[in-house]
Amino acid sequence: MNIQWYPGHMHKASKEIKAALPSVDLIIEILDARIPFSSQNPMLATLRGDKPCIKILNKSDLADPVVTQQWQTYLEQEQGVKTLALTAHQPEKIRQLIDLAHKMLPDKAPAGKLIQALIMGIPNVGKSTFINILAGRFIAKTGNEPAITKAQQRIDIGHGLVLFDTPGLLWPNVENKNSGFRLATTGAIKDTAIDHDHIVYFAAEYWLKHYPEAVKTRFQFDTLPENEQLFLEVIGKNRGCLNPGGKVNIDKVAKILLTEFRAGSIGRISLETPVMMEEELAELVIIRALKEAKKKERKQKWKR
């Protein structure tokens, strides 16, 4: 899925992050625990260098706990990376970040120096709520839709830690089409910028394959529908999402199901695993190679 939503403030924020990185001591990246890979900013991997990084798997209460643990183990294989699986309902656990930051930068506290940390994350990942809990007061504006924070701000949360907050940031080109679908399913992209029908077909197929028992329980099925089309039609009829003539309105069904998934009503569901991502990354390497070969072929034809 191609994402066609990259507001101007995001372009500005990406430039500010690049400029700020050399002067910060620590990077804190807030990820969505349901999609830890797809919610990572690829720009960070190329710019971080050897700076320590704490990856927060937020909204972990909505994710499959077994898969979340797999992701923590996988992410911490990278040098200088530590993880915390959190939820906004665990304020005391969120404050563990402060201790972890000091452990990762042991030379700062004895010297009386503040830890300068850049905090970043995709839209609607819960970053502003996280900051407010850390600070113990209302600082960052929150809301249940992406792109609330519009400008960078410096926040001294005490305990020797200063945060440089940045707007929720997507990137203009999501190479992995499945990552685009996952970002849309979790609500990282404004609903006005996506096609609900395509998103819900992707999500329903995944739920039926990987979380059949959760689907059965939520929708009181004795047996699962054979495919996502039948699943959506059954839900549409049961929920009264019908057009004149009795045909199911898939757009209405999509909005209902996506809202329920984002609220955790369907169950604790993760949309990707480390094994899946390794497979998709391998496919991307092949796709890039084919594109490059075609590009070279066109250049050679042009030269002739």
Question: Does the domain at residues 195-263 carry the CATH identifier 3.40.250.10?
Answer: no
Residue 149's pLDDT band (cuts 50, 70, 90): very low
Residue 260's pLDDT band (cuts 50, 70, 90): very high
Whether the pLDDT of residue 152 is over 70: the answer is no
Q: What pLDDT is attached to residue 293?
A: 79
Tell me the average pLDDT across 91-119. 86
How many angstroms separate the CA atoms of 35 and 252, rounded?
A: 25
Q: Residue 58 contacts by C-beta under 8 Å, 6 or more apart in sequence? A: 30, 31, 32, 33, 86, 87, 88, 121, 125, 126, 127, 130
Q: What pLDDT is attached to residue 121?
A: 85
Q: What pLDDT is attached to residue 144?
A: 46
Q: What pLDDT is attached to residue 5?
A: 46
Query: Could you tell me the fold of the domain covering 8-165?
Result: Rossmann fold (3.40.50)
Whether the pLDDT of residue 20 is over 80: the answer is no
Residue 85's pLDDT band (cuts 50, 70, 90): very high
For 227-251, how does the pLDDT look when each residue is reduced to its tens digit (9 = 90+)? 999 999 999 999 999 998 889 999 9
- The pTM for the full model equals 0.85
Tell me the average pLDDT across 169-178. 66
Strands, sheet with 26-32, edge to edge from the N-terminal-most edge strand: 81-85, 53-58, 26-32, 115-121, 161-165, 153-156
Q: What pLDDT is attached to residue 12?
A: 67
Most confident of 186-200, 218-232, 283-297: 218-232
Beta carbons within 10 angstroms of residue 243's beta carbon: 12
| C-alpha triplet 63, 179, 46: angle, nearest 5° | 105
**Domain assignments of the chain as residue spans, ordered by start:** 8-165, 195-263
How many angstroms separate the CA atoms of 79 and 71, rounded?
A: 15
Whether the pLDDT of residue 150 is over 50: the answer is no
Q: What pLDDT is attached to residue 123?
A: 80
